Homo-oligomer: A and B are copies of this chain.
Amino acid sequence: MSHKILVAQGGGPTAVINQSLVGVALEARRHAEISSVYGALHGVRGIVDDNLVDLGQETVANLEAVAATPAAALGSTRDKPDRKYCQEIFKVLKAHDVDTFFYIGGNDSSDTLRIVADEAKKAGRPLRAVHIPKTIDNDLMGFDHVPGYPSAARFVAQAFMGANLDNLALKGVYCAVVMGRHAGFLTAAAAMARQYPGDGPHLIYLPERVFVVDKFLAEVKAAFERHGRCIVAASEGIHDEKGEAIITKLMGRTEKDAHGNVQLSGTGALADLLCEEVKNKLGIKRVRGDTFGYLQRSFAGCVSDVDQREAREVGEKAVQYAMNGQVGSVAIRRVGDYAVDYPLVALETVAGKTRVMEDAFIAEGGADVTRAFGDYLRPLLGSDLPAIAHLRGASVEKAGVLIGDST
């Protein structure tokens, strides 16, 4: 039997999502039973708009170059299809005789696949729907980790390595805000920047724990007193005990105007607001903030080779499973220290669910991660991480000059 397959990419781009795409395209070439390999432009939107490209016409050299390129080469979409939208997806797939659909994305994409497969079943035209996971948030249920996360985590670790050194050179408080609204995995990666005693980040705030502004200020004060400086990693999703975002809370405190509230809830605001709190309440002079923003998911030239390999493999395995008549989500399971395999799990395991950080990964007190988290993340970061070094700095005996002495 001959098969036409279609692949699409959805949700936020990652550094390795194209590895999975190319994994599908190249693995398909090994299967004589696959007659066409289509790509949909801009995810499910490209399917309903019938904007497809023929991946069979791509050269191997260009596919390999695309695999090494960050973001989503087919284009992506934020569309979250409802049942009607899924019916339209199915209609286009049917019109093109596509019987196998690979969707590279997060838990929403997995849900879309579930519904489209359901529609196909009802229409008596079974569809092989395989979900290929990706997300920098690492928040898919049933996975040890998700492709895309290790590279973003590496970016965050390298950013904090540099920030720690910069802050050692010019001491003060530094707060950086990291992506991840519900799951703290990416923010937690900041911990991997530590190498020497006293290295930052000294405090890590995750959305899995309630953020109390006064506790934060007390912890910054203590770290500053101890180290003469303080580096903070904060998730964009930090919130109070009622679930209210800290960004909204602090904005309200400095700016009574609701209009300002709306106007300024832009990307850089949380870091600035945390810095203002530290400046105003602790009287520390040099306080700086950064928001890593889109760099952490798209920066060209910061990638984990482990992540690249695994993202490629989930794409290859997806085709193998589908050609074997199996459907579901291609998960990553850790075996040994460190190796992985790729079991297929039911779409329902992943669809619409969000994994957050396990308690075992979060330190007591809630402002740091545990050694277990370090053990979990370290092998994912890949090879050739930058190494840093400090001078040993043997003191020279003071000459005993009295400053102000005119001799």
Contact = CB atoms under 8 A, between A and B. Distances in A.
Interface of A: 9, 12-13, 38-39, 41-42, 48, 50-55, 57-59, 62, 65-66, 68-78, 88, 91-92, 95-96, 158-159, 161-163, 165-166, 168-171, 174, 193, 254-255, 257, 260, 263-264, 266-269, 271-273, 275-276, 288-295, 297-302, 385-396, 398-401, 403-405
Nearest to A95: B399
Contacts of A92: 399, 401
A310 to B, nearest CB: 20
A71 B271 CA distance: 22
Given A9-B169, A50-B399, A91-B405, A389 B69 contact: yes
A393 B267 contact: no
Contacts of A72: 169-170
A288 B297 CA distance: 14
Given A68-B387, A73-B391, A396-B54, A276 B263 contact: yes
Contacts of A292: 295
Given A71-B162, A158-B299, A168-B75, A394 B57 contact: yes
Contacts of A78: 170
Nearest to A78: B170
A236 to B, nearest CB: 12
Contacts of A163: 294-295, 298
Copies of chain A in the complex: 2
Contact of A255 (B50, B54, B55, B263): B263
Contacts of A76: 169-170
A67 to B, nearest CB: 9
A389 B302 CA distance: 16
Q: Which 5 A-B pairs have the closest CB atoms?
A: A268-B268, A266-B272, A65-B389, A71-B165, A162-B298
Contacts of A77: 170
A65 B388 CA distance: 7
Contacts of A299: 158-159, 162
Contacts of A266: 268, 271-273, 275-276, 289
B295 A391 contact: no
Given A77-B170, A300-B165, A268 B272 contact: yes
A41 B299 CA distance: 34
A76 B58 CA distance: 52
A54 B196 CA distance: 20
Given A68-B387, A271-B267, A301-B302, A395 B294 contact: no
A93 to B, nearest CB: 9
Contacts of A293: 288-291
Kindly name the residue among A166, A273, A288 whose own CB sees the greatest number of chain B CB atoms within 10 A.
Answer: A166
B298 A62 contact: no
Given A158-B299, A271-B266, A300-B162, A53 B13 contact: no
A150 to B, nearest CB: 15
A62 B272 CA distance: 37
Given A294-B174, A295-B159, A301-B302, A395 B52 contact: yes
Kindly name the residue among A59, A73, A264 whose own CB sees the greatest number of chain B CB atoms within 10 A.
Answer: A264
Nearest to A77: B170
Given A254-B260, A300-B165, A395 B53 contact: yes
